[in-house]
Structure 1
């Protein structure tokens, strides 16, 4: 599976292990920028190797559309997307 903007991920390696976040930018085949809107804000995303992430089969349409239209997304939208996954609720894939 290829990483996509707005895709939810679970961090497998590093100090944020077991946390969820959203891909806010795909840098290349190996690296993406992630943010969760809480610990990792949109203004200061974390660069991660995709091998250290579990790519979940969930795309947050709200986040993806916001990034496509404006180039940015609110931390509240990121928190909302992460919270829904962390609490086991599916996000509408539109």
Structure 2
């Protein structure tokens, strides 16, 4: 199966389009393969209980959080606080994405 779409990266912001958490934003914290990733937001979905999601249920946003990426490069892990900070910063800069669904 050949998928020409962009590949997910650690630290990338995603919008959940299917499931209970639909229309919420989260961060990719681990890639399983080309089809599945683990996501967390640091608030409702903590790092230690990350959600395994099918890529078909996510919309990749063209933004990779530098804070999350640097944390993974330096220590190999990320804190819940850093995820919350990255999402808050992203949503403040891109408030137009919140109005998109209204």
Unmatched 5+ stretches in structure 1: none
Q: CA deviation at 1:85?
A: 2.7
From 48, 57, 61, the equivalent of 2:62 is 57
Q: CA deviation at 1:70?
A: 1.0
Match of 2:39 in 1: 34
Which aligned runs of 4 or more in structure 1 are off by greater than 3 angstroms?
Answer: none
Q: CA deviation at 1:71?
A: 1.4
| CA deviations over 1:40-80 (Å, ceiling 9, x no partner) | 01111000001100100000011011112211111111001
Q: Give the structure-1-normalised TM-score.
A: 0.89
Q: Give the structure-2-normalised TM-score.
A: 0.83
Aligned length: 89
From 26, 33, 36, the equivalent of 1:21 is 26
Q: Which has the higher helix share?
A: 2
Q: CA deviation at 1:39?
A: 0.3
